[in-house]
Amino acid sequence: MVISVARFLPEADPHSITGQRLILACVSLASLLGALDMSIVNIANPAIIRSFQVSIGMGSLVILAYVLTISVLILVMGKLGDRYGFCLLFIAGLMIFGIGSFLCGIAPDIYFLIGSRILQAAGAAMFSAIGPAIITEYLPESDRGKSLGYLISFSAVGFALGPGVGGFITEYASWHWVFFINLPIVIIALASGWRYIPRYMPPTDRKPLPLAGSLTFALATLCFLLSLSLFQVPGTPDLTLIILFAAGIVFGIIFLQIEKRSRDPLISPVLFRSQHFRSGIAACLIITMLFSGVTYLVPLYLVNSRHFDQFTAGMIMTVPALLSIIAAPTAGSLADRHGTVLVSSVAVGLTAAGFLVFATFDPMTVLIVILAGMIVTRVSTAAFFGPNGKLIMNHCPEGTIGNGSGVMMTIRHIGLVVGIALFQSVFALRMYATGIPRDGTPLVPRLTPALSELGYQAVYLTAFILCIVVLFILMRTKEEPENT
């Protein structure tokens, strides 16, 4: 079927402008697909829980299984891309994702569904890991920032469309179709990838994957992120969280020792020898944490502190989300002309200013000011990622592009989880500092709007400080790669 569909697509030389645009469209479509399935299932999860008559905790594993699997596997997939070719991994990832989506749709019970979500996420990890690598390898450097910005934009479209599309499908069809809707998109992306992405095999001896390093990295990441994810689930025993967090540290130490002794490490040492690659990765982690943590708390602020209904709060958040879709490729294009460090620094500076404005909010702040602050922070954050992606990929030597892409995407996924846990903790600690007892009961129902404002102010001041840290990092970062 895929090859049949590919025959109807126009031919294009991958070295021509048209061919390069088609490669970008293909990779961007896959980026949309991966992001869509992160957000579309959230809105359908209550229906899934009712359908299988399971607990909320069990139902949350449908979401967690996807996020954690991608985070654990994406670095390994980037390494495989360098060894076996980006097109092969892209096609295989889409096929596995499609099979996983179909199995999710026909799942007879919750355990089958969770297992299928893991399979689906394994496929998503494959094409997500090498998306930036394909752009870096096959598109001209002069358009790289703009192209990576489009990749971010399509991912933002997926996140933005997910709740609305998922809610509509769940209401008027069934939750099964939340997964079946992926299949036509997968077929189009597969046909486009088969047609347009060059099927180039790297000239390597294709050594087997370093299993010890891969396994310990996967265990370290899984334990660490699971501890942070379960921290957000009320009723999780503190001992469970401590054991998981400690296990993550232990496996992380073992991983580092294995990497030092390995002749073929999972993460190429040449990447982190570059101070500027390290700086780009550090900036990426911090801004991703800000993006996820603040985005998670904003709806709570609008509903619990300002008493907007769910629909109004959703509409307020949609405006900056849509504007950010335009901002990402625009900022990337500016970075192509004026430099990644300059454009990244301006974006972070605007983000810091937005957070500082947010920290002054009180229960009397008018809606237009709230919306303006949200637009500034969301748009400027989105504007950061295209230039930052170009900066990171520019410092990946030949033969490590897939590995570098995998590192960057791993950092982004880890940042999504860490950011929510971090800013939840900042908010909670500020509330407990006011004298509210930490007795295990839910915090939000006990808060007055005035108390909530104190928590949100602490969150935004923390975000402002972290933005200043990123600005200092960028001041010490150079555009051009070092000689290695």
List of domains in the chain: 1-198 (1.20.1250.20), 211-265 (no CATH), 271-484 (1.20.1250.20)
Full-model pTM: 0.82
Query: Is there a contact between 171 and 44 (Cβ–Cβ < 8 Å)?
Result: no
What's the pLDDT at 440? 61
pLDDT of 406: 86
CB 341 within 8 A of CB 145: no
pLDDT of residue 484: 44
Give the span between the Cα atoms of 174 and 164, in whole angstroms.
14
Count CB neighbours of 3 within 10 A.
10
Q: Provide the 10 A C-beta neighbour count for residue 140.
A: 11
**What is residue 442's predicted lDDT score, i.e. its pLDDT?**
62
Hey, what are 324's tokens? 């950010």
pLDDT along the chain (484 residues), means of 10: 52 68 87 83 82 79 86 86 83 94 93 94 90 84 80 78 77 87 90 81 61 87 86 75 92 90 83 87 92 78 72 73 81 86 92 86 78 85 87 84 86 86 84 73 67 83 93 84 52
User: What pLDDT was estimated at residue 12?
Assistant: 56
Q: Which are the contacts of 57, defined by CB distance < 8 A and separation ≥ 6?
A: 233, 235
Per-residue model confidence (pLDDT) at position 318: 74
The answer to whether residues 152 and 331 touch, using CB atoms and an 8 Å cutoff, is no
Mean model confidence pLDDT for the chain: 82
Q: Who contacts 208 (Cβ-Cβ below 8 Å, separation ≥6)?
A: none
